[in-house]
Chains A and B, each alone.
Chain A
């Protein structure tokens, strides 16, 4: 359980990092990035599993819970991030507040958001038929996801 907690914190750290990338991307020159902190409230310590033996570690709630970070103002506008945690893993990331650009930007859905949400889900769980990616050459084929998907149906 302690491992899960640490994992969650490292994921939060990654989120902070990615957002600071975004702010530096949007700026001109090498303006210092303004990190956005997402605070995960300590989860209620409802111990359902008796084998938990680390009393000092705060225990994440099993089930689904959404944590909303505080709004951070960056030079490009306010940003707020919310994460949904399911069984100790981040299952979704929402950005309820993000900087407002011009109308064209809004129309294009062009806000560059971190890829983090997806990184938490592996291909094995995605139940897909095939994979689109940067060109796989014959040399790299045996290591590719597609080769595993093919192997399941080769006759």
Chain B
């Protein structure tokens, strides 16, 4: 049996203020592949129109002003935010987050929307039989690799030097999400003090769902370095934390390995 090298193609678009990269590999790329990727991007644009806290015409902004909301997706987001608040013992909280434009507190579900939106949009790739794919939304990743392909090699950025990779996670199916201050400064808020959470430089969480990996990473970063112990108790998710002083802690089942090994 001959093994042909899989072909790999990438697409990148800027949506929700983020670069969204889609990589697809297969021995023979399906002719419908462009349609699938187009549908994925269109889906993310729709979510941005509904949930963007930066657009005055979004359903979220209308809801915040007490106006009628038409798109049922916003309901789903609010319900999921409530569930996230519960699952994280209150450390994920979209309420009272400062508007980056003027500092005023407001309801901002962005910390959950990105992972949820990408996971939802990636369903357009699910029908591509025999294709492996990797969606990266500004550093949060969802992948799938069929049995005849190697797992995706996901580098975990070194928060002390973003040009370097500190670990690699090999993943066939699932998510890797990182929260931290490397590129946008301290934007994670401790929901109890309403002040920026600064104990963690970065928290990376891997598990089956991007929505929940992202929520757990944000909640862990807000909770601080001892939150590794809480994360250890969360089933099916593992995490790696870098403290503000550059020390590393991980849950017992953390699957990452160092780059050379």
Cβ B168 vs Cβ A132 within 8 A: no
Nearest to A18 among chain B residues (CB) is B246
Stretch touching chain B among A43-51, A54-62, A65-73, A106-114: A106-114
A145 interface hit (Cβ, 8 Å): yes
Which of A136, A149, A155 has the most CB atoms of chain B within a 10 A radius of its CB?
Answer: A136
Given A123-B163, A132-B204, A146-B139: A153 touches B154 (CB 8 Å cut-off):
no
Question: Which B155-200 residues sit within 8 Å CB-CB of chain A?
Answer: 155-169, 176-184
- Interface residue? B126 (CB, 8 A): no
Inter-subunit contact A130/B21 (CB<8 Å): yes
For A133, the chain B residues whose CB sits under 8 A away are 139, 156-157, 159, 162, 178, 180, 182-183, 202
Cβ of A22 under 8 Å from chain B:
yes
Q: How far is the CA of A117 from the CA of B259 in the complex (A)?
A: 9
Asked whether A145 lies within 8 Å of B163 as measured between CB atoms, the reply is yes
| A27 vs B188: C-alpha distance when bound (angstroms) | 26
Known A-B contacts A112-B247, A118-B259, A145-B155; A135 and B139 likewise in contact (beta carbons under 8 Å): yes
List residues of chain B with CB within 8 A of the CB of A18.
Answer: 245-247
Q: Is B155 touching A25 in the complex (CB atoms < 8 A)?
A: no
Q: Are B167 and A118 in contact (CB under 8 A)?
A: yes
The minimal Cβ–Cβ distance linking B192 to chain A, given in whole angstroms, is 22
Contacts of B160 in A (CB 8 A): 115, 119
A48 to B243, CA, bound (A): 43
Q: In the bound complex, do residue A114 and residue B158 qualify as a contact, i.e. CB atoms below 8 Å apart?
A: no
Are A132 and B141 also in contact (CB < 8 A) when A115-B166, A145-B162 are?
yes
B17 at the interface (CB under 8 A from A): yes
Q: Could you say which interface size class chain B belongs to?
A: 35 or more
Are B259 and A121 closer than 8 Å at their CB atoms?
A: yes
A104 within 8 A of B: yes
* B153 in contact with A128 (CB, 8 Å): yes
Q: B161 is contacted by which of A21, A92, A119 (Cβ under 8 Å)?
A: A119
Q: Which residues of B contact A25 (CB under 8 A)?
A: 243, 245, 247
Known: A130-B155, A132-B176. A118 touches B249 (CB 8 A): no
Q: Is the CB of B249 within 8 A of A112?
A: yes
Q: Report how far A109 CA is from B155 CA in the complex, Å.
A: 21
Q: Does A52 contact B (CB under 8 A)?
A: no
Give the 6 A-B CB pairs with smallest separation, nearest first.
A133-B157, A118-B166, A112-B247, A134-B180, A153-B10, A128-B155
Known pairs A134-B139, A134-B179; list 11 more (Cβ under 8 Å). Answer: A112-B243, A113-B248, A115-B246, A115-B247, A123-B165, A132-B141, A134-B178, A134-B182, A134-B184, A141-B19, A146-B21
18 A-B residue pairs with Cβ-Cβ distance under 8 Å, sorted by A, are A110-B229, A114-B247, A118-B166, A121-B259, A123-B163, A125-B259, A126-B259, A128-B155, A128-B165, A131-B139, A131-B156, A132-B178, A133-B157, A138-B17, A141-B14, A146-B136, A150-B21, A154-B10
